[in-house]
Structure 1
Amino acid sequence: MDTSSDEADDWFIESLNTYKDLHVFQLEHPTKVIEWTGDKSICVAGYTEARSEILELLLPLKLYAGDNQGLCAERDFKVQHGGFSEEPVECLIHIPETRFVVTSGGSSPALQIWDIGGDDSDVIKRTGVINPKSPSAKCGKIASGLTENPTALHGSYTNDVQLTELATGRVLYTVGNESSDLESMSGLHWCFGLRSSSSDPSLCTIARLSSSGQMVLSDLRDLQNSFCQTQLNVQHISAKNEFLNVSWASVLDSCLSVSGFDGTVQVYNTRNWSTEAQTPQPVFSHRGHDMSYEAKCSGSRPVVTTHAWHPSRPNTLLSAATDGSVHVWDWVDKSTYT
């Protein structure tokens, strides 16, 4: 008896009630980055080749057709703009209200600035380079700076963090040399997600996730003191911990999601978390990549490489996995129903 097939069948039946929409696509190469560049477009890039494609893709029209999906001729992603990076792309961010993305990856610690183009061109062009404060720094994480002019916040450790203006390359902010990243020294791999307040940009919450499943929530203005620490119940498939990802929901208050441990994306509501919270349960778990046909046939389960919340649709996410699959899904929050 094929128990894995039965499990997949059970999940499919269950999904009819747990998703409003679920669409499955396949990329030619797996991606480690998904970044929204608009309500209907995303940017992806390869991470396994020395020379990697960077693509801006238009989402299929059927995702926005509602009950008239059968009338849509376009049922796959459409390439809007494309280019090549000489380094694998392991991190990519889009600068809001611009047509720029910033990437990092490979052996170089430098960040690459790209113009992803407009209506007059379909080519994504590199327009600049940002060098880190420390020339020996490893490839770091990137976030968009909360300033009037386009900026990037980047660094490998706390004492390497700097805020750089894209147009001029001018360093606007650095962390003092006396600062240290104690959690980086604990032997664990960490990733972080930033949630900013639309009413007050200075009010930011940082979620830090470790490779052991430890979650730490703190105020950006006081990173030394957390207001919540909890342990997530996670299953490890990837020993390298290279795909860890924690992301705050764009619209839903207090919701965040984690991935990179296995073939799932877990969604949590942090509203009732406290310093005493122990192994909180997710309000939703996307198991679609784990249940994919390709995973069952190859005998190996995929690991989710990245995921991203839609900028304006509350419950819509994209997720990608090591098998090249990309899922667009709108989950049902049953905790809101009586």
Structure 2
Amino acid sequence: MEEMEAAENDDPLDDWFFESLKSYKDLHVFQLERPTQVIEWTSAKTVCVAGFHSSKNEILELRLPLKLLADENKGLCAERDFKVVHGGFSDGPVRCLRHVPGTRCVVTNDGRSSDLQLWDLGGDDSDVIRRTGSIRGTSASQTGTRIAAPPSAPARVLHGARSSDVRLTHLSTGQTLYKLAAVDSAEPLTSLKFVGDAAFLACCSDGTVYAADIRTPAAPRVSPPPPSAGESLLWWADASAAPQQSCWKVVRVSSSAQAVVSDLRNLGGALGGAQLDLQTAPCRPGDVTVSWAPALDGCFSVSGFGGLVQIYDTAGWRTAPQDARPLFQHRGHVVPSRRHDDSDPASVTVHAWHPERPRTLLSAASDGSFHVWDWVEPEAG
């Protein structure tokens, strides 16, 4: 991946910047040599990205622009670029990447099998990211493996390609420490998410959600897919982790842009639902990102339905379906430029919320564009 640079000063992009002055507190636009499908925080100031080209790819740890991180006197800070702090190479694509909290280790999957690759991100004495090992998968997969790391117990990861092969593996020994029990179906997974040190959710492409605990071999609680009028849909899900919330919430979004919010304690019920204002198109399980805001109560984001990242506020949602307009949408990835063919518009490949800054997100697209932005809430705009 070549050194990232500010986007070219072409007229359409300049026009969009002027229009966006009132919508963003901060906005930085960069270009990657190859697009990425992973954005993973390794600290509050650094992220990992990696290419998903069929051949050799770079895997990089980047520090956020210092100008973005400056809380005061931003005008005195000239550094607007990401800085590469560690880098290495992967022989194949990187379709999923998870950082193991409390370590300098990341775990990846290539999207072509259920095998895992282990990496050391390097430290103060080395700027090289190097591969340290692998974990053999348990099943053939054409959709890749989902990976989750518990907040504590840094020597283990949860992983699986299908609901029937979810397991917890010790990274050093490769030993299986836990296996999701009594699951008859083999639906592809769209996400795995820890909701505490031991409890986790396994979300399937058909909308089924399994809630389980790695401390017990008991069968998981099963929530069937939300009603969808007989349609065959793909579903994506995420669970909220905002500390100010009294309960964990789960949001499920379908390929027809239907959204359902449930209480983790009663996944079969619905706290609210809506029809989102999304471009609907055929999607693969790995195309869409759904993510609750970690520091903004009741809000979640969605991308993968085109070139937009949309943010929705669930406050006021009722159990009866309703149309919902986005609270904010980032459309910078579809702004035309001379660098790319406008007849083939970019689609967002991944986005991620900052773990601490309430309205700061990163997003990447299929044309290699890479943005970091802090949006202004509508009332302030």
- TM-score, with structure 1 as normaliser: 0.86
Cα displacement (A) at 1:219: 4.2
Residues 153/270 of structure 1: CA separation in 2 closer, same or farther (3 Å cut): farther
Q: Distance in 2 between matches of 1:282 and 1:95?
A: 33
Cα displacement (A) at 1:101: 1.3
Other-structure match for 1:321: 365
Residues 143/272 of structure 1: CA separation in 2 closer, same or farther (3 Å cut): farther
- Percent of pairs identical after alignment? 50
Match for 1:233 among 277, 294, 314?
277
Q: Tell me, what secondary structure is at the counterpart of 1:306?
A: strand
Q: Contact between 1:295 and 1:302, CA under 8 Å: does it hold in 2?
A: no
Q: Distance in 2 between matches of 1:313 and 1:28?
A: 28
Residues 167/271 of structure 1: CA separation in 2 closer, same or farther (3 Å cut): farther
Other-structure match for 1:248: 292
Other-structure match for 2:58: 53
Other-structure match for 2:307: 263
The AA in structure 1 aligned to 2:313 is N
Cα displacement (A) at 1:56: 0.3
Q: Which segment drifts farther, 276-285 or 11-20? A: 11-20
Q: Distance in 2 between matches of 1:195 and 1:122?
A: 34
Cα displacement (A) at 1:87: 2.1
Post-superposition Cα deviations, 1:116-148, rounded to whole Å, max 9, x if no partner, equal: 11101111122232334x322441222222443
The AA in structure 1 aligned to 2:295 is V
Q: Contact between 2:277 and 2:326, CA under 8 Å: does it hold in 1?
A: no
- TM-score, with structure 2 as normaliser: 0.77
Residues 179/55 of structure 1: CA separation in 2 closer, same or farther (3 Å cut): same
Q: Tell me, what secondary structure is at the counterpart of 2:332?
A: coil
Q: Which segment drifts farther, 161-170 or 217-226? A: 217-226
Post-superposition Cα deviations, 1:200-224, rounded to whole Å, max 9, x if no partner, equal: 99x6433222222122333445545
Cα displacement (A) at 1:327: 0.8
Q: Contact between 1:257 and 1:265, CA under 8 Å: does it hold in 2?
A: yes
Q: Contact between 1:87 and 1:106, CA under 8 Å: does it hold in 2?
A: no
Q: Which segment drifts farther, 77-86 or 161-170? A: 161-170
Other-structure match for 2:216: none
Other-structure match for 2:354: 310
Q: Which segment drifts farther, 93-102 or 300-309? A: 93-102
Q: Contact between 2:245 and 2:297, CA under 8 Å: does it hold in 1?
A: no
Match for 1:184 among 195, 206, 229?
206
More helix by share: 1
Q: Tell me, what secondary structure is at the counterpart of 2:233?
A: coil
Structure 1, unmatched stretches of 5+, are: none
Q: Contact between 1:157 and 1:184, CA under 8 Å: does it hold in 2?
A: no
Other-structure match for 1:210: 254
Q: Distance in 2 between matches of 1:72 and 1:175?
A: 50
Residues 70/13 of structure 1: CA separation in 2 closer, same or farther (3 Å cut): closer
Q: Which segment drifts farther, 20-29 or 140-149? A: 140-149
Q: Is the aligned partner of 1:129 residue 2:134?
A: yes
Q: Distance in 2 between matches of 1:70 and 1:94?
A: 33
The AA in structure 1 aligned to 2:123 is G
Cα displacement (A) at 1:104: 1.0
The ranges of structure 1 where at least 4 consecutive aligned residues each deviate by more than 6 angstroms after the TM superposition are: 5-10
Match for 2:115 among 110, 114, 123?
110
Cα displacement (A) at 1:179: 4.5
Q: Is the aligned partner of 1:44 residue 2:66?
A: no
Q: Distance in 2 between matches of 1:80 and 1:135?
A: 35
Q: Is the aligned partner of 1:290 residue 2:334?
A: yes
Residues 302/294 of structure 1: CA separation in 2 closer, same or farther (3 Å cut): farther
Other-structure match for 1:153: 158
Cα displacement (A) at 1:333: 1.0
Q: Tell me, what secondary structure is at the counterpart of 1:308?
A: strand
Match for 1:163 among 136, 148, 168?
168
Q: Distance in 2 between matches of 1:111 and 1:294?
A: 39
Superposed CA RMSD: 3.0
Q: Tell me, what secondary structure is at the counterpart of 2:48?
A: strand
Structure 2, unmatched stretches of 5+, are: 1-9, 188-203, 208-230
Q: Contact between 2:122 and 2:129, CA under 8 Å: does it hold in 1?
A: yes
The AA in structure 2 aligned to 1:283 is L
- How many residues end up aligned between the 2 structures? 331
Q: Tell me, what secondary structure is at the counterpart of 2:20?
A: helix
Q: Distance in 2 between matches of 1:73 and 1:199?
A: 36
Post-superposition Cα deviations, 1:240-291, rounded to whole Å, max 9, x if no partner, equal: 5642110111211111100011111000112322321412111101111112
Q: Tell me, what secondary structure is at the counterpart of 2:21?
A: helix
Cα displacement (A) at 1:310: 0.7
Q: Which segment drifts farther, 60-69 or 156-165? A: 60-69
Residues 296/82 of structure 1: CA separation in 2 closer, same or farther (3 Å cut): closer
Residues 169/199 of structure 1: CA separation in 2 closer, same or farther (3 Å cut): farther
